Structure 1
């Protein structure tokens, strides 16, 4: 009888092992969906911190330009911020001089919220420096070594920055090829406060004293440059 009991027990274990417990379970697989629709946005964009675009929005974007809080421009492709450049008060010299901007981090901010990947081009022109009827003869304002920055999680390719000497002809400052420059981008001319080597004004000798100003016009076009 004991031998019969052992035989039955071994047989039951063998059958359970061969069949396995998985043969008794039922698996049911199906799918669901997630969806989102992205569309262009035409609201204004707040200026970002030029030293750290991931930081909370600064109360004063450019500390050398405290009254400037941004353009407030609306649309799907916008210029959000432009620093006003200050070269301070200088003594007339007997020879030609190059003066440096007071601004430590002057910058330009552009946002593309079209969602088309069409690219864009930012150009600039400048008038002569004038004081009433007087012209600052032969002067040249230059912007060099711009640093293109954005928030760290931006998935778009970056636009390209160019060194420029401003005059009355349109100069390309930033250019985004197709599928580049989407989101918010900054072009920062970072330098030393009070003596920024990257933003300069050349003034030849032989000019009159005066309080001179130049008007810079920035144009953002909704396609890459043909150049």
Structure 2
């Protein structure tokens, strides 16, 4: 008596809800076919947890993951939860200066206070029905520098384009986000895009 067993399964994954795939099992006993059809169901839900900040100064591990960045007081976790999150935003220090310095002075970030300021975004929403990423944008806005009783009038903030790094090997194969330069941002400016990923 000869037995042949062939199993084939097809499962289509959706971002949300359930998906049903079919599996056909064929068995032949003494040349007489016997067939049965069954179903497999898989469900997906959006994540609700926070994402730990990763260390942008180290390369990806051999398994395609990135090391976590614990105890970084200058780039603290936001604690935001959900499927699309801003996970960390940097502390920006412009150093110590003497009152009465020349008007119009330009001050750069103090790299000794925060050597590696960075933003981290996690998009865990999956893709739309057209199999394209949904896109996202990070904007930046500023308030006046103030000590509580006095404000630093006329302050403007500028950011050069940053280096974009993937947090995992799978993320690096998707369309890469882009960093945007921001020039002359003041408290009178509207929120301005600084980092984002396009739809697709």
In structure 2, what is the equivalent of residue 211 of structure 1? none
User: Partners in 2 of 1:94 and 1:118 — Cα distance?
Assistant: 47
Relative to the length of structure 2, the TM-score reads 0.65
Deviation of residue 85 (structure 1)? 0.5
Is the 8 Å Cα contact of residues 49 and 61 (structure 1) preserved in structure 2? no
Give the C-alpha shift of residue 99 in structure 1: 1.3
- The reply to whether residue 41 of structure 1 matches residue 47 of structure 2 is yes
TM-superposed CA distance for 1:39, in Å, is 4.0
- What residue number does 2:140 align with? 124
Could you tell me whether the CA contact under 8 Å between 2:53 and 2:68 is conserved in 1?
yes
How far did 1:171 drift?
A: 0.4
Q: Distance in 1 between matches of 2:52 and 2:136?
A: 20
| Deviation for aligned residue 1:47 | 0.3
Distance, in Å, in 1 between the alignment partners of 2:124 and 2:57 is 23
Residue in structure 2 matched with residue 97 of structure 1 by the alignment = 105
Contact kept in structure 2, 1:53 and 1:149, CA below 8 Å? no
CA distance in 2, matches of 1:53, 1:73: 25
Structure 1, unpaired ranges of 5+: 1-25, 180-227
* 2:181 is the counterpart of 1:156: no
Q: 1:170 aligns with which of 191, 194, 197?
A: 191
Structure 1 position 30 matched with structure 2 position 47:
no
Task: Pick one of 162, 166, 170 that aligns with 1:146.
Answer: 162
1:94 and 1:177 mapped to 2: Cα distance?
42
Distance 1:80 1:161 in 2: 16
Q: SS at 2:141's partner residue?
A: strand
Q: CA RMSD in A?
A: 2.5
1:12-38, Cα deviation, whole Å (9 max, x unpaired)? xxxxxxxxxxxxxx9x68342264655
Asked if the contact 2:76–2:90 (Cα under 8 Å) also holds between the matched residues in 1, the reply is no
> Which digits, 9 at most, give the CA deviation of each residue in 1:126-146, with x for residues without a partner?
111122332212221211121
| Structure whose residues are more often helix by fraction | 1
Q: TM-score, normalised by structure 1?
A: 0.58
- How far is the alpha carbon of 1:52 from its aligned partner? 2.5
Which has the higher Rg, Structure 1 or Structure 2? 1
Displacement of 1:53 after TM fit?
A: 6.1
Where in structure 2 are there 5+ consecutive unaligned residues? 14-41, 61-65, 128-132
